[in-house]
Amino acid sequence: NLEVNTAQTIAKIQPTMYGVFFEDINFAADGGLYAEMVKNRSFEFASPLMGWWQPNSKNHSLNQESGIATPMRTSGNANNSDFCRIIINNDKGYQIVNEGFRGMGVIKDAKYNLSLKAANHNNGIKKIIIQFITKDKKVLGETTIVPTDTNWKQYSSQIIATETEAKAQLRITFEGTGTIDLDMISLFPEETWNNRKNGLRKDLVQLLYDLKPGFLRFPGGCIVEGRTLENRYQWKKTVGAVEDRETMINRWNTEFKHKDAPDYFQSFGLGFFEYFQLSEDIGAEPLPILSCGIACQYNTGELVPMEELDPYVQDALDLIEFANGAVTSKWGKLRSDMGHPKPFNLKFIGVGNEQWGPQYIERYKVFAEAIKAKYPNMIIVSGSGPSPDGAFFDYGMQELKKLNAEIVDEHYYKNPEWFKENATRYDNYDRKGPKVFAGEYAAHPKGVEDGMKENNWLSAVSEAAFMTGLERNADVVHLTSYAPLMAHVDAFQWAPDMIWFDNIHSFGTANYYVQKLFSTNKGTDVVAITKDGKALTGQNELYATAAKDIDKKELIVKLVNTSAKAQDVALNLSGNALESKGKLILMTHSNLEDYNTIAEPTKIIPTESEYKMKGRKAVLNLPAYSVAILKLKIK
């Protein structure tokens, strides 16, 4: 028997309560959300012909009886200096092939927009034939470009795919003899999210959109910090014309065991403008996180000296101007020139990712003073270390409290037991302290140390139990997000992850559906749900939170049963009068080890049914290992 009182409001739920955390890890951006299909399109990878090869050759210098591809370095564009020179000696049909990001996904009858820059020395090359091929060289669609200029010129064309194939490649065949230079060989599906050029994969954005996230945190994670300060994420290098954005090695590259060499680079085609635009598209508050002048925790901790911190702070101030400034301001003008004269209405900014200790506090102070002096209403998110259980975490919290920090970003990757035990984590949290951003969390079924495991139902149901505690404490917990968000099935460094994809499919894990249930059934005010006057935080392996939605006039009760047995729960409802008919959303699965896959993407998903009350009582049978949401209209 549980008591639910809709008249007893405990806390306001922030619109930002459930959001998403995006980082370019696991091919989430290049090779994933960013719809570019050509890997190393501008020949800027550390090994400039990586991703490109000639059929029947083990390396790029073979196939010399008909031609040779040579990386060159003098295009005149400082940020995109490399290009590829192809010299063809005879008309035997010299070819190069781009392998894509573990292949290219093409869908029957879909259109793909190709563009490239070429300079056809002496006009010796008569034709360039561009084709999708399978690994057995079957052609799946093609187009032709006639390079007409001896100087650099932009060409574009379209290929229509004749079949669906997740691992196609792009083959380029040259007719004629002579020398031709190529750069920015780019290919996008015509259909992207909102059909934008340089756009994002529609299916992946749709999954984000469906979550109705309160915020979008970007661009990471460790990627913000970089392994060295030199490799930190610098937003200014990710805006403006796409071809002028400097390609950089991904911070996650070296953790990548692929073929002979790790091949994970950031093209920044998905840069800060696109992140702001995506936030707007999915109705989420943008939440950028910037480097605070400390390199990644896994590094020995390169620190910028205090007297050299200014450019870092200036980056933060300029970012606010980029997002919100007048079109007459320097950075506001750039935003406008990129197609968004209206401000992005940035309200939050994060300083540092997982940093801690006196070095962090010292630097954070400088940022906070400068930001507040110029933008007093900007809400600053401060970092904490990677583990919320350590002494450095307590130190950071104490110091941040003294500084009246507004929101602290906590991260936890723990085993499922931890998540259940921590449903009470914020029950005794200092109500006068900084608000909480549970910025990265995921239950790792075998523990983080044991590494990378699947998104099984055990992890998802444990997270649901924990999330009841986040929601019950919505007065202090203002933002929450699962992490990491996305992973390519053939290219990942970290798992579990919330959304998985290959080059044509994508699906939400059980964890995704738990997030979606909470996010799309959030409510506006937490109301009391108790057993014997206490919150339900694991007694008999039951967890609960209740909220009402003042705008939709609804009561929303969330119940989680982590036990192996079904349990009957009776809700005694007091307060507002309620309609007797409502909706019951249920997610349950008998095998805790099971998980969704590309082949079975909907194995574990919620189901909905009509619910009928018995008088003022709602009686529910909660199956073993289940998450239930009961929604009743308030009269």
The site for ligand AHR (CB under 6 A) is made up of 23, 25, 220-222, 353-354, 386, 411, 440, 483-484, 494
Nearest to 18 by CA among 468, 400, 598: 468
Sign of the CA dihedral running 332, 293, 45, 38: negative
Strand pairing report for 94-98 and 52-53: antiparallel
- Least separation, in Å, of the C-beta of 381 and ligand AHR? 13
354, 399, 454, 463: the active-site residue:
354
Q: Which is nearer to ligand AHR, 222 or 460 (CB)?
A: 222
How many angstroms separate the Cα of 17 from the Cα of each of 101, 557, 581? 34, 16, 28
CB 386 to ligand AHR: min, Å: 5
The secondary structure of 214-273 as a DSSP string is SEEEES-SHHHH-SSGGGS--GGGGSS-GGGSPPEE-TTGGG---SSS---EE--SS-HH
Tokens of 13: 């739920």
The strands making up 407-414's β-sheet, listed across from edge to edge, are 20-21, 215-218, 285-290, 348-351, 379-382, 407-414, 435-443, 477-482
Q: How far is the CB of 270 from ligand AHR (least distance, A)?
A: 16
**Angle, helix 510-520 to helix 457-472, in steps of 10 degrees:** 20
Nearer to ligand AHR, 174 or 482 (CB): 482
d(CA 146, CA 139): 20
d(CA 223, CA 237) in angstroms, rounded, equals: 14
Q: Which is nearer to ligand AHR, 11 or 448 (by Cβ)?
A: 448
Dist CA 490 CA 473 (whole Å): 39
- Please tell me the distance from the alpha carbon of residue 315 to that of residue 433, in angstroms, as a whole number: 28
| Residue 139 backbone zone (phi > 0: left; psi -120 to 50: alpha; other: beta) | beta
β-pairing, 499-501 with 486-488? Answer: parallel
Question: In this complex, which beta carbon is closest to ligand AHR, that of residue 257 or of residue 342?
Answer: 257
Residue 152: count of CB within 10 angstroms of its CB: 17
Q: In the annotation, is 190 catalytic?
A: no
In whole angstroms, the minimum distance from the beta carbon of 448 to ligand AHR comes to 10
Local structure of 116: helix, strand or coil: strand
Closest to ligand AHR by CB, 25 or 50: 25
Shortest Å, Cβ 314 to ligand AHR: 24
- Between 222 and 592, name the residue whose CB sits nearer to ligand AHR: 222
Nearer to ligand AHR, 271 or 350 (CB): 350
Closest distance to ligand AHR from the beta carbon of 3 (Å): 39
We find the least distance from the C-beta atom of residue 180 to ligand AHR, in angstroms, to be 41
As annotated, the active-site residues are: 354
